[in-house]
Amino acid sequence: MSNNLLKGKRGIIFGALNEQSIAWKVAERAHEEGAEFILTNAPIAMRMGEINALAEKTGSKIIPADATSVEDLEKLITESMEVLGGKLDFILHSIGMSVNVRKGNHYTNENYDYTVKGFDVSALSFHKLLQSAMKLDALNDWGSVVALTYIAAQRIFPDYNDMADNKSYLESIARSFGYHYGLAKKVRVNTISQSPTMTTAGSGVKGFNQFINYSELMSPLGNAKAEDCANYCIAMFSDLTRYVTMQNLYHDGGFSNTGVTQAVMDRFTEI
């Protein structure tokens, strides 16, 4: 169903890897709502994924870019404006990676070279992206930038490891850069804290299946699906949310405000 919420708007979507990706769902919904956009991911991720099918489906061009490289980002943004025929209205930052998680290193025994790499990809890339966009004056007034995050930035989830630190920094950037970008160009910058979602990245976390089940029981509305997160992103890109900025917005079925649920209590009663 389309309401033409993004008709005439242009953007860049980072991170679509396959049909499980939230970024993939955002691209599909943005297309349905009338937007034109560039798809981008790291060259290695693009070789692993199926992004060509998404590009064909949405009539989009793919421009590979390493989000940790300012040179790549500036080239991506400049080319995007050329291809789309004007300045941008929205950007989705949906990328994250922890080498320590991949390698099975415990949080108390990090390889710091891995830590720095994950921090650069998952968090510092967001600052580099915003700084590049501002330098190139790439976003229209009242443009919207959204990054995806997780509640482990606020609370301890042991197996989320150093990604929790990365997400904390990501959310801080949204507040700090959102202030400066808002003053300069009325651009709004927000993060969406999504329920645990069965994506390629999410499923790499130890104990993920068990945690999804726990989160489902701890959320009055249940876990928010990727498609619903995409809808929230579309709302944030639209003109309906023009005065929302510098926020960390929970999209988690109520998990973030729930101490315990009867369903979880009942599980302990069974023991």
- Residues annotated within the binding site are 15, 21-22, 95, 167
Catalytic residue among 107, 112, 114, 150: 150
160 in active site: yes
Query: b/e string for 210-232 if b means 16 or more Cβ within 10 A?
Result: ebbeebbbbbeeebbbbebbbbb
Enumerate the known binding-site residues for NAD(+). 15, 21-22, 95, 167
Name the active-site residue from 160, 181, 232, 250. 160
DSSP state of 122: I
Phi-psi region of 85 (alpha: psi -120 to 50; beta: other; left: phi over 0): left
For residue 117, CA distances in Å to 28, 46, 97 come to: 30, 19, 8
How far apart (Å, rounded) are the C-alpha atoms in residues 69 and 75?
Answer: 10
The answer to whether residues 63 and 37 touch, using CB atoms and an 8 Å cutoff, is no
Q: What are the residues whose beta carbons fall under 8 Å from the beta carbon of 93, sequence distance 6 or more?
A: 14, 15, 67, 125, 126, 129, 145, 146, 147, 148
Residues 6+ apart with CB under 8 A from 227: 25, 29
The amino acid sitting at 8 is: G
> What residues are annotated to the active site?
150, 160
